[in-house]
Each structure stands twice: as C-alpha cells, then as structure tokens.
Amino acid sequence: MELGTNFAAKLEPYLLMSKSAKGAAAAKLIQDATSAPGVFVFAELLDLPNIQELAKSETHSSFYSLLQLFSYKTFPDYIEHKDSLPPLNQAQITKLKHLSIVSFAMDRRILPYADLLLALQMPTIRDLEDLIIDAIYLDILRGKLDQNEQQLEVEYTMGRDLEPGKVEDLLAALRSWASTTSAVLTSLDNQLSSLASQTAANAAHLEEHEKSWQGTLRDIQEKHKSTKKNQQGPGMSQSAAFSNASNLAKERERNEDPMDVDDGPGSENKGKNRKASQDTGKQQKKRGRLW
C-alpha cells in the first residue's frame, strides 16, 4: 500500500467545517487541523477562499503562515520565523519534525544522525530514534535505523504539498531525469548489441576452430594407421607364409609311412627280416591255438 493514501480522508472533516468558518473560527480551525493526529497534508485546506482571506488579516495572518509551514516547510523554518508565528503545542512540534524528516529525505536518501539532531534540535540520539520510529508507525516514511553508522536509510516517504513556484522546478527535474534515463537506456542497448555481435563472432570462430581441429585430428589418425600398416603388414605376411609351410611339412610327415622307405645298403635284408618276423609271429599264433 502506498504511503499517505488515507491522509486526505483525515483532512476531510476540516474541509467541511472551513466552508462556514471565517476570521477567528478559521484561525482556530487551522490550529486544530495542524494538531490533529493523522493529518499530514493541508493543500486543499490552504486553497479554500475562507482560509486565504486570513492572509489579508492583520490579526490572523500568522495562522495562515502557520498553515503554510505545515504544508511545505520544515522545523528549521519555524525556528527562523518563530517570533512571527503562533506558538506551537507539543503535538504540532512533533508533527512538524516528522514532516521535516520527509522533506530532508527528498534531497538525500541517507540522513546522518548528526544532521538530524542539529536540524530538529533533538536532545539525544535515543529521542531522535524514537521520533523516527513513531514516523514509521504513522506510515509517513519507511526506512532502517543504522545504529552502527549512526544514520537513517530512507526507502521511501509520503509526498508533501508543493510550495508555490516549485512545480516548475519539479517538472524540470523530472525532464532531466527522463533525459538521463533515456540516455542510459540507449547506452545499455548499444552495449547489449555489441556484446551480442561479439558473442556471435566468438561462437563462429570457435566453430571454425573446432572443424579445423577435427580435420587435423583425422589426418593424423589416417597417417598413423597407414604408417602402422606399412611397418607391420609385410612381416605378418611372411610369418603367415612360414607358418603355412611348416604346417604343410608336418602334414606330409604324418601322411608318409616310414616303414615303406628303403634307404641305402641293407635295405633288402631289412625287408627279409621284417617278413621273417611276421612269419614267426604267425607260427606262434598257430601254436597258441594248438596249445
């Protein structure tokens, strides 16, 4: 929920009463509105004809100035013009200090305790922190108390009424902000486009490098295979031929009958001896049968 969305509703009863209030009654209405809890915006009340008539009154013009103080000024402004303003009660002083913190936060987000103690005339840091905590609970601002760094870090605040003539300054500031933002966005777009182009170029370079590396690797592998084949191929063929010849020689030896081979002198006697031994064997078999 946005801060200060219900503040206008808190002012509504005073707007209704102001339609018939003049002079002292209008001055009393200003005192009541600036003291009332939860009433932090006063522009609509300040613009009413009955209230603006007080600025022309010698008796009640100070009350109109008091309403201006609560609309868009700060506690240091009250201290500076204190003698020309009605005296403030404690509720008004506290409210004006809360509104002053909001105004200070419009200029910078980090508010040192030392600056706040001086501007708001707070006696101690503890009193200052209590004031800030109350403002946070009242939904005037949101932030964090940094006790280590002795500062208030403001996240965001309610909006205050604009002083006459400040609208043009605000518009100029917004135009400058918009121009700066546009320039920053343009610069970021250009950088993103440059990065995208560089990324695409790097990807293409890596792809080309990968293709070249793969081609070189294939060439090396093919050369390695060819060299290995030339070194090992003939030797393996001779070994295979020698093995086949050896196997054939062994096969021939197994198939040949050594008993049928006649070599050198005495081969005839060897044949006769074999025949005689065969006949003797047959005779022994016959004798065995007879026995």
Amino acid 116: pLDDT: 96
Spacing of C-alpha 70 from chain mean position: 42
**What does each of the 291 residues of the chain score in pLDDT, given as a tens digit?**
455 567 888 889 999 998 888 889 999 999 999 999 999 999 899 999 989 999 988 899 999 999 999 999 999 999 999 999 999 999 999 999 999 999 999 889 999 999 999 999 999 999 999 999 999 999 999 999 999 999 999 998 988 888 776 667 667 777 887 888 888 998 898 999 889 988 998 998 888 888 888 888 888 888 887 787 776 555 444 555 555 556 666 666 666 555 444 454 444 444 444 444 555 554 544 444 444
Handedness of CA 244, 248, 249, 250 (dihedral sign): positive
| pLDDT given for residue 252 in this prediction | 64
pLDDT digits (tens, 9 = 90+) for 50-64: 899 999 888 999 999
Distance, in Å, from the CA atom of 112 to the CA atom of 159, rounded to the nearest integer, reads 21
Tell me what pLDDT residue 100 has: 96
Give pLDDT, residue 225. 79
At residue 8, the pLDDT reads 80
pLDDT for position 289: 46
Residue 7 has a pLDDT of 80
Buried b (16+ CB within 10 A) or exposed e, 221-246: eeeeeeeeeeeeeeeeeeeeeeeeee
pTM over 0.85: no
pLDDT in the model for residue 82: 92
% residues pLDDT > 90 (the chain):
43
CA dihedral 93, 71, 161, 129 (to 10 degrees): 0
- Residue 285: per-residue pLDDT: 46
